[in-house]
Structure 1
Amino acid sequence: MGAWTCTRWPDVRECTGERKRKRKGRRKYGGGTVDLGIKDRVAVVTGGARGIGRAIALELAREGAKVGLLDIFEEGMAKTAGDIRAMGGTALEVKADVGDADQVNAAFERFGAELGPVTILVNSAAVLDNISKIELMDPARWERDLRVNLTGIFNCVRAALPSMQKEMWGRIVSISSVAGVLGGFGQAGYSATKAGLIGLMKTVAMEQGRYNITANVVYPGIIATEMFQFMREDMKDRIRKRIVFRKEGEPEDVAWAVAFLCSEKARYITGTTLDLSAGITLFTF
């Protein structure tokens, strides 16, 4: 074999040498070339106004799902819904606070009435603005983190289950974080809730399997969303050094994985926690 040299580590697509690998017949996932079997299913995405939730909503719409958006940010939801309709899809946005069970129940009733039975739920809504060491943390902010990031998922799962059970088919995917596995300095509330939802989803998987309902978790590492952009550059650089690709992921990287877990092709996957941290968890010393 010939020697290899790389112009910029670790993007192997820029590697040059005496031999080059050729990719033949590669199918582009997420571009409509793979039938995931969810056409005309109703998918509710919380936190769909921006970031990862928005990317997931758009990807599910590309796969033919009717998308219900649940968020508190009306302007962002309207943009996501408009983009879905522009591609020929169906979308309905409902303003609701996931931490308020009454608002969630009312939203799901509307989704069911206007779109059809909800059989896909993606829990992406979350807050990450309570950065403080435990001894300095405002207890009210801690309670708010629990209400939105954990109780919010509980509320949405409870609201979605009746239609899934009736249809004898369901997919539930919740977005955790690498902070829920490794912890995060100054992120007691966020880390605790993101760890808690893993246990919650495993329980849902055990209880609901008899109804052909799967429940899974994906936990991203650093993704190029609004949350990441607020970090200082020196902090971003330190984090990138723990990623094997030396760069943050894109919201679409999460959306593609979530779309698969929502599909008919993932029918035998449940109770799973999928690591989407690009190797952050590999660096343990």
Structure 2
Amino acid sequence: MSSTTGLAGRSVVVTGAGAGIGRATALRFAREGARVVVADLNEESAAGTLEEIENNGGIGLVVVGDLSDQRVVDTVVDRAVESFGGVDVLVNNAGIMDRMSALGETDDDEWERVIRINLTAPFLLTRAVLPHMLEAGRGSIVFTASEAGLRGSAAGAAYTASKHGIVGLVKNLAVMYRKRNIRANAIAPGPTSTSIHVDSRQDAHGPGVVGPLIRGNIGRMGSAEEQAEAIVFLGSDAASFVNGVVLPVDDAWAAV
């Protein structure tokens, strides 16, 4: 893939880059020669990702904070522009799970927290990088959606709504900015080995409905590195004619 990605020297922002899919993605971009902004809520985890990038000869920097806070978003973009000259690729990966709650048992706190982190934060960061991409005349934005953005049987109400929102945002971005040479795509991961935690109540209605449906339809467990390969492809010049796509990376779960 190295000969066609065109990523050497590019400026890439990866959110949730301290662990899981985000970490694997940041490392993969760095191996392609990109300069990587490691954005994460956890300072220690982000520093660990940056250390691995630098130990392997790569270039990066860390920005720590809650990306649903406009001030943190502005800092991420400002640091990328000041240090690397702009933002060529944005990977909106950071996210949290809900409690698998059905709508009737979803409280305000669960709803607002999941929507804020999974949907509002990517909106804020995308809005902030767009002027720089438009000025440069190019850009690629990749989102981590989910199987829950393709169906109603993969998570609770809040997470499902947030990921369906991401799918709509991707498609709208792709149409709105395709004539400006800015692409927007997403992956829809199936079950993947990461540190993300589901704090569900097993006696609740939602987990009791969703659990058997997930177990009955998924294939094998994927790795963060497999998801990262798909993200890097979509962000790279190798996918120059791919726009508005939500790509399942799920061992055929979406095909069931």
TM, length-normalised to structure 1: 0.81
- Cα distance in 1 for partners of 2:156, 2:198 equals 17
**What do residues 157-195 of structure 1 show as CA deviations (whole Å, max 9, x unaligned)?**
011111111111100000000011112466111110001
Two-structure CA RMSD over aligned residues (Å): 2.2
Task: State which of 152, 161, 169 in structure 1 corresponds to 2:121.
Answer: 152
Secondary structure in structure 2 of the residue aligned to 1:219? strand
Moved over 4 A (4+): 228-232, 235-241
Correspondence for 2:175 = 206
CA distance in 1, matches of 2:228, 2:110: 29
Partner of 1:164: 133
* Larger CA deviation: 268-277 vs 127-136: 127-136
Q: 1:240 to 1:83 in 2, by over 3 A?
A: farther
Match status 1:255 vs 2:223: no
From 240, 245, 250, the equivalent of 1:272 is 245
Q: How much has 1:53 moved relative to structure 2?
A: 0.7
Given that residues 4 and 237 in structure 2 are in contact (C-alpha distance below 8 angstroms), is that contact kept between their aligned partners in structure 1? no
Is 2:83 the counterpart of 1:114? yes
Structure 1 position 236, deviation (Å):
8.8
2:198 pairs with 1:223:
no
Q: 1:222·1:228 contact (CA, 8 Å) conserved in 2? A: no
CA distance in 1, matches of 2:199, 2:108: 24
Q: Which structure 1 residue ranges, 5 or more long, are not aligned?
A: 1-28
Residue in 2 aligned with 1:242? 217
Contact 1:119–1:160 (8 Å) recurs in 2: no
Counterparts in 2 of 1:237 and 1:61: CA distance versus 1, 3 Å = farther
- Which residue of structure 2 aligns with residue 53 of structure 1? 22
- Structure 2: any 5+ residue segments left out of the alignment? 203-209
Shift of 1:68: 0.3
- Does the Cα contact within 8 Å between 2:96 and 2:117 map onto a contact in 1? yes
Alignment CA distance shift 1:229-1:196 (3 Å) = closer
Greater relative contact order structure (CA < 8 Å, 6+ sep): 2
Matched residue, 1:39: 8
Bigger CA drift: 174-183 or 129-138?
129-138
Residue equivalent to 2:60: 91
CA contact (8 A) 1:240 1:248 kept: no
Q: Which has the larger radius of gyration?
A: 1
Report the structure, 1 or 2, having the larger helix content. Answer: 2
**Alignment correspondent of 2:49:** 80
Q: Which of 183, 191, 194 is 2:152 aligned to?
A: 183
Give 1:239 shift: 4.4
Deviation by residue 1:44-100 (Cα, 9 ceiling, x = unmatched): 001101001111111111111000011111111001111000110011110121111
Query: 1:241, CA displacement in angstroms?
Result: 5.1
Residue among 91, 94, 109 paired with 1:140: 109
- TM-score of the pair, normalised by structure 2: 0.90
Deviation at 1:35, TM superposition (A): 3.9
Q: Any conservation in 2 of the 1:134–1:186 contact (CA below 8 Å)?
A: no
Checking the alignment, whether the CA contact within 8 Å between 2:98 and 2:114 is kept in structure 1 is no
Structure 1 SS opposite 2:251: coil
Count of matched residue positions in the alignment of Structure 1 and Structure 2: 248
In the alignment, residue 242 of structure 1 is paired with which amino acid? N
Contact 1:173 1:261 in 2 (8 A): yes
Confirm or deny: 8 A CA contact 2:94 2:118 kept in the other structure: yes
Question: What fraction of aligned residue pairs are identical, expressed as a percent?
Answer: 37
Name the SS for the 1:131 alignment partner: coil
